[in-house]
Structure 1
Amino acid sequence: MHFFRISSSFPNALLACLSILLALAGAECCLRLLGHEPGYIARYDVGLANVDELQPVKARWFTDSEGVWRANPDFDWPDNHINSEGFRSREFKADNSGQPKILFLGDSFTWGVAAWPETESFADLVGREGFTVYNTGVPGADPNQYAYLAEKYVPRLHPDYTAVMFFMGNDFVRPRPMLPGKNLHHITNAGWMYAFDNQGNYMDSPQQAYAYWKRHSNWLEAPDRPDLPDNPVKSVFCKTVIGSYAWYYASPALVWAGRKMGYDFPVSEGVWNKPGPHTIQSLQRIKDVCDQNGSQFLLFIIPVDPEMENENNSLSENLEYLQAFSPMTPGYISSDMYNKKSCHHLNNHGHRLYADFILKKLAEKQNEKGDAAADKKG
């Protein structure tokens, strides 16, 4: 009798198992339809679109024979004046107007992305207030290029001020090599991708870069996340989306338990966008060339949109790293200053407020110069 009682429950158990399997299969299908991939869990938005075939597109920016990433003057720029050296600026020639001269060094924020029109950017607004502005901001540039451009243009233009517009979101990036003709980015129908990996190796094809950055953005493959070594169990789990999430949630607990038992799980330090000696070296190069040519070095900080998830959101933690360069940060940063549809760049309101901040600081510096000159005469 006991045997038959157990057997009679077997159909119910089988039905329960089948129901669970069907539910898991249904969930797996739904997750895949929503764009989730087996073996891939994004740790940040890689910013690349899904395309049937990855292809380069006609680029408005390229790397020239000096290794400088700049705009293509031959491209059709209907709304912008691009000077002969590939920057959205007046020509880089001596100016005899008698106005104070300022050289801006920066990236897309300094170019004016998300200002509409782009001539409403903070660099242009400052130029309407009695300053001669030379703007070398270009989307996708980094402090390594800022330093190179300072060494090139400060001795030629002799600006009164050289302003580094340091964006906290990605200007701590490890410097990419400047190689003539080797583009800093691959620009494709899926979006922009750095053409150099984290070790500074050039990736010739967009396909190679896409595969690298996709892997780099995967929690399950990330080089700076503790995980169990590759093993057959992980391989089986990662063949499904549900299994990938199960491994994602379970592996930290397994790592913790393994460490308690004396096992070592080394983790390589993430270096893509962290403060380090490279940041100091680039800024010091700029300051040195300014000191040698009588230009006052200014470090302006552009904070990250408070609503944007970014590892460098915290000003208090990162400003300390830059203290030797007397960083200047506006105290009124708010989310309504940023354009959410344009990768959280400053909108027109933000550019106006930031221009006012720059002008205030420039006025203070000019007053200091005047006071110093008066003291010298006295």
Structure 2
Amino acid sequence: MFRTIIYSIIFGVILLIVTFLLGEVVLRVYNYFAHSHVFYDGSYNRYRGKPHVNLYGFKLNAGGFNDTEFIAEPDAYRIVGLGDSFAFGIVPQNQTYLTKLESKLRDRVGKVSLFNMGISQTNPTDYYTILTQEGADLKPDMVLLSFFMGNDFDVPRKPWYRHSYMLTALNYIGKVAWKVKDFAGHQPYCDSCDTFERNEYLRIEKERLDSWQYHIPQDGRYPAGKEGFFEKTVETLLRTRDYCKQQGAEFVIVIIPDELQVDERLQQDVAAAYFADTGKLPYDVLTPTRMLAQRLRENQIPYLDLYDAFRAAIPAQELYKPSDSHWNIAGNEFAAGLLADSLSKIIPNRTMLVEQRETSLSSNK
């Protein structure tokens, strides 16, 4: 009897290992041909949209970007928009803040062509690569980089389980797939529908709060082991600035606040769910914004910080989708108005633009 039990256990373990290895092979073969964003890929193309796929009634362009085909009008002021899912847009294409911004700038300063090159789940290193490999071909007059405070800081390591396709798939199913209510693009867009179950969304915000960038710095510097992450992000932004300068393009950063930073109700919910003993969050949620803004000022990089405006507007109107850190339609419209107010003061008039281009072309010869 005892020997039978031992044999059964050994057989079960062997069967489990064989099943796991077979699943690993099948998933790797599947991903090779179908390319799913679930599995780790060091390239920014992991989350790139598929060309001409229909998303909320709009077909992505030939590059898989959530925009029309990239064709600039003659003598138009050209802007390349970089960013993650905020830039790509989770609302219908004609309601994203970059689409709205292009329209508002045209009304204020004339011909403007804004190319939305946002790709979900990317970061500043990816933005630099997208710009140098694809965006530069559009000969932009301005590069507008949207920096989301929730998860845009570069972190060089990936979780250990990402090396296995089976473990990655199981983690995705357990943590994400069944807890997402609204699968973007697979059904009509709903501006008032929860994206995640509320408890799952609170967990996501708690996980962000626990990440290194929210830890309160001592003497204005992050603790040992974490300072490198911050410096790597700043270095990447400086490299992007220098590249833009070489190309004769303005470089402007938009600092997009996480909902946890601007919504006191969400802060209270996270505190109640995870920090009931103190009733408050353990970190200053503005720490990373202050640190980043200071470094941008020191390096003379123009930036537009949307924190104050969103913080002031939140009590009176809903600007984020329910249980989702992205803006709803109203939030996109609000952001577009703020950016249009600021950028319309930066964009030169037609005569100045022609002179700048002629000077840039002459200096590059």
Name the TM tier (shorter chain): 0.5 to 0.7
**1:142 equivalent in alignment to 2:123:** yes
In structure 1, what is the equivalent of residue 285 of structure 2?
313
- SS of corresponding position for 1:345: coil
State the distance in 2 between where 1:347 and 1:110 align: 13
Moved more, 58-67 or 133-142: 58-67
Contact 1:166 1:301 in 2 (8 A): yes
In structure 2, what is the equivalent of residue 123 of structure 1?
98
How far off is 1:112 after superposition?
1.6
- SS of corresponding position for 1:98: coil
State the distance in 1 between where 2:303 and 2:310 align: 15
In structure 1, what is the equivalent of residue 258 of structure 2?
304
In structure 2, what is the equivalent of residue 356 of structure 1?
337
State the distance in 1 between where 2:319 and 2:171 align: 31
After superposition, what is the alpha-carbon deviation per residue over 1:192-231, rounded to whole angstroms, capped at 9, x for unaligned? xxxx328xx95231524766998xx999xx998xxxxxxx
After superposition, what is the alpha-carbon deviation per residue over 1:173-210, rounded to whole angstroms, capped at 9, x for unaligned? 3157xxxxxxxxxxxxxxxxxxx328xx9523152476
How far off is 1:355 after superposition?
0.7
State the distance in 1 between where 2:136 and 2:319 align: 35
In structure 2, what is the equivalent of residue 197 of structure 1?
159
In structure 2, what is the equivalent of residue 165 of structure 1?
146
How far off is 1:326 after superposition?
2.9
Gaps spanning 5+ residues in structure 2: where? 1-26, 107-111, 176-203, 213-222, 268-280, 357-365
How far off is 1:102 after superposition?
0.7
- SS of corresponding position for 1:162: strand
In structure 2, what is the equivalent of residue 329 of structure 1?
305
In structure 2, what is the equivalent of residue 283 of structure 1?
237
How far off is 1:159 after superposition?
1.0
Moved more, 157-166 or 201-210: 201-210
Aligned residue-pair number: 250
In structure 2, what is the equivalent of residue 92 of structure 1?
70
Contact 1:142 1:175 in 2 (8 A): no
Gaps spanning 5+ residues in structure 1: where? 1-54, 177-195, 225-266
Letter in 1 for 2:120: P
Letter in 1 for 2:86: F
Contact 1:161 1:296 in 2 (8 A): yes
State the distance in 2 between where 1:170 and 1:65 align: 17
- SS of corresponding position for 2:331: helix
How is 1:60-79 mapped onto 2 (pairs within 5 angstroms)? 68-69=45-46, 70-73=48-51, 75-79=53-57
How far off is 1:360 after superposition?
1.7
**1:343 equivalent in alignment to 2:319:** no
In structure 1, what is the equivalent of residue 137 of structure 2?
156
**1:110 equivalent in alignment to 2:87:** yes
How far off is 1:312 after superposition?
7.6
Contact 2:66 2:89 in 1 (8 A): no
In structure 1, what is the equivalent of residue 363 of structure 2?
none
How far off is 1:73 after superposition?
2.1
Mark the CA change 1:318 to 1:337 in structure 2 (over 3 Å): closer, same or farther: farther
- SS of corresponding position for 2:233: helix
After superposition, what is the alpha-carbon deviation per residue over 1:327-371, rounded to whole angstroms, capped at 9, x for unaligned? 211331133453242522112221112111221222111259977
State the distance in 2 between where 1:223 and 1:97 align: 46
Contact 1:68 1:145 in 2 (8 A): no
How far off is 1:67 after superposition?
5.1
State the distance in 2 between where 1:278 and 1:293 align: 23
Letter in 1 for 2:163: M
Q: What is the aligned-residue identity percentage? A: 22
How far off is 1:293 after superposition?
1.3
Letter in 1 for 2:302: S
In structure 2, what is the equivalent of residue 232 of structure 1?
none
Q: CA RMSD in A?
A: 4.1
How far off is 1:146 after superposition?
0.5
Q: TM-score, normalising length from structure 2?
A: 0.57
- SS of corresponding position for 1:366: coil
